[in-house]
């Protein structure tokens, strides 16, 4: 995997995923080092100025009117980082912390924060050495940046606090830095502040979520197509001319995928001979492109927001392009918080529709002739009865997680920070929602595959490939078995993308690039 170059152009979502999840190395562009050196000189001139400058020669937040003499300014920066490294709760995932550090590094590389190049070089060294600060789940309100999470990252760069090293062992930061031959940072004026004032945690989680949702929404289309076939539904409603009457791009893409998945299905071809026995399919089948498509369009808007944020320089105060140092409000996380909440709503609704399709398979009065609960020997066997209970429990949780975090605000810092975004909270619940959606879709695919096999009328080439890939890990119908490992195996196939690769559904996804 090639290194990600930071500071030459805005990072892409793929860059965030590569570094955060797959341990790609990072390199700082020479132009970024030059920009940082230039604006650092601006800050150093202000440090000698008799006029107070926020974060350079003053305290922070509600203490911004307190003047700090030059002899205390290193201590000011150290104290800021130490006091703000106040998270609590379970440690967040390694990929979240790495994504947070990468995005803070990207802002440093813009040259708009006024830090010395050594600060950015130290962050790059920590990432490349696989040193990951330990960050608790609670502590960010998503305004003035993700303060506590970013403070833990800065603390580690100072050689303090705890980290997980490249092997995953939890050790003191000083020990890990020494082993990696990284000198601990001694922060100068403004540098502690510049390391804390960013929306990097919530943005990193948004980037990872969008990457995952790209695959999951395509998987949802595949799952729905399998369900249409397994329930002997029709693909007529997915026709391109019908979809064009409501020209939402996501809807068109979802319908295109489902048509492709069902192409040459003997079950659907049979309708042309015997006639479609139902006047209309249920909404959970017929309206899948409309719901999945709305989720796709929501993700497309969220990607626009993410791309804008990836091109941003978030700090307060910030060094402008003409070398002014200005206070601003760009650290407020509202743009990110809103779309994080929006995506949680979409994930919950896609999962809810998936669960409804699964439920139809299990009800003999609605499954078009399949055995009750898809059981091998109904009565003796319960089949997939309780798998749907598991789905229902997850969907209920996803509906709770769809309640927006960004509408809440608790004033902090003696009412100086009197409106906050709660974007970090929105990001944390979206991660849980994506995990739940993965499991719900996996259970639908389990049911749909069993339904296709029990109908015994054959399958479309694309759906047959998905069933075959599933059967490499999960056997078909038979006497009841210990079901939890099979649900987990199906989930692993969803999350890894193995079922997507088997379907080769990307060829159905778009008519034009």
Q: What is the number of other CB atoms lying within 10 angstroms of the CB of residue 390?
A: 18
Backbone φ, ψ for residue 163 (5° rounding): -140, 165
Cα gap 378→106, rounded to integer Å: 59
Cα gap 158→176, rounded to integer Å: 12
Q: Running DSSP on this structure, what letter comes out for residue 92?
A: P
Tell me, yes or no, if 54 is annotated catalytic: yes
DSSP states of 173-231 as a string? Answer: HHHHHHHTT-PPP---TTHHHHHHS--HHHHHHHHHHHHHHHHHHHHHHHHHHHHHHHT
Q: Running DSSP on this structure, what letter comes out for residue 373?
A: G
Cα gap 377→365, rounded to integer Å: 17
DSSP states of 29-90 as a string? Answer: -HHHHHHHHHHHHHHHHHHT-SS--TTTTB--GGGTT-B--GGGHHHHHHHHHHHH---EEE
- C-alpha 153, offset from chain centre: 20
In terms of DSSP H, where are the helices of 85-199? 94-109, 117-128, 147-157, 173-179, 191-196
Q: Which of 54, 138, 389, 482 is catalytic?
A: 54
The CA-based dihedral angle spanning residues 322, 325, 327, 330, taken in that order and rounded to the nearest 10 degrees: 50
The CA-based dihedral angle spanning residues 102, 106, 107, 108, taken in that order and rounded to the nearest 10 degrees: 90
- C-alpha 313, offset from chain centre: 21
Q: Which residues are catalytic?
A: 54
């Amino acid at each position: 995997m090639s290194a990600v170059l930071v500071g030459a152009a805005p990072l892409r979502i793929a860059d965030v995923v590569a570094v955060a999840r797959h341990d790609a190395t990072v390199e700082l562009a020479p132009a970024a080092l030059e920009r940082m050196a230039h604006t650092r000189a601006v800050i150093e001139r202000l440090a000698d100025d008799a006029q107070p400058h926020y974060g350079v020669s003053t305290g922070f937040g509600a203490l911004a009117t307190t003047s700090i003499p030059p002899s205390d300014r290193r201590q000011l920066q150290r104290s800021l980082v130490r006091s703000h490294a106040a998270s609590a709760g379970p440690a967040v995932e390694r990929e979240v912390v790495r994504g947070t550090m990468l995005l803070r590094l990207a802002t440093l590389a813009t040259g708009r924060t006024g830090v010395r190049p050594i600060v950015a070089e130290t962050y790059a060294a920590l990432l490349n050495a696989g040193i990951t600060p330990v960050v608790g789940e609670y502590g960010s309100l998503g305004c003035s940046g993700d303060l506590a999470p970013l403070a833990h990252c800065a603390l580690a760069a100072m050689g303090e606090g705890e980290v997980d090293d490249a092997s995953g062992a939890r050790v003191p930061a000083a020990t890990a830095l020494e082993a990696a031959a990284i000198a601990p940072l001694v922060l100068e004026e403004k540098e502690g502040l510049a390391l804390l004032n960013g929306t990097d945690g919530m943005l990193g989680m948004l980037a990872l979520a969008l990457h995952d949702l790209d695959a999951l929404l395509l998987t949802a289309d595949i799952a729905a197509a399998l369900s249409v076939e397994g329930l002997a539904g029709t693909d007529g409603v997915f026709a391109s001319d019908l979809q064009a009457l409501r020209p939402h791009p996501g809807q068109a893409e979802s319908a295109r995928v489902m048509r492709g998945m069902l192409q040459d299905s003997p079950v659907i071809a049979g309708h042309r001979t015997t006639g479609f026995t139902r006047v209309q399919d249920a909404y959970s089948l017929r309206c899948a492109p409309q719901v999945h498509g709305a989720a796709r369009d929501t993700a497309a808007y969220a990607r626009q927001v993410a791309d804008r944020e990836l091109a941003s320089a978030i700090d307060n105060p910030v060094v402008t392009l003409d070398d002014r140092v200005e206070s601003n409000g760009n650290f407020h996380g509202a743009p990110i918080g809103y779309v994080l909440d929006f995506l949680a709503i979409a994930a919950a609704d896609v999962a809810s529709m998936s669960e409804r399709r699964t439920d139809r398979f299990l009800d003999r009065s609605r499954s078009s002739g399949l055995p009750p609960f898809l059981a091998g020997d109904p009565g003796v066997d319960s089949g997939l009865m309780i798998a749907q209970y598991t789905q229902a429990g997850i969907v209920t949780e996803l509906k709770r997680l769809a309640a927006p975090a960004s509408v809440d605000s608790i004033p902090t810092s003696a009412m100086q920070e009197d409106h906050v975004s709660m974007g970090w909270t929105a990001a944390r619940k979206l991660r849980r929602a994506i995990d739940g959606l993965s499991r719900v879709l996996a259970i639908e695919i389990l049911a749909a595959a069993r339904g296709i096999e029990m109908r015994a009328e054959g399958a479309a080439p694309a759906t047959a490939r998905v069933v075959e890939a599933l059967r490499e890990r999960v056997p078909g119908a038979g006497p009841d078995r210990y079901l939890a490992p099979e649900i987990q195996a199906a989930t692993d196939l969803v999350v890894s993308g193995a079922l997507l690769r088997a379907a080769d559904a990307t060829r159905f996804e778009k008519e034009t690039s």
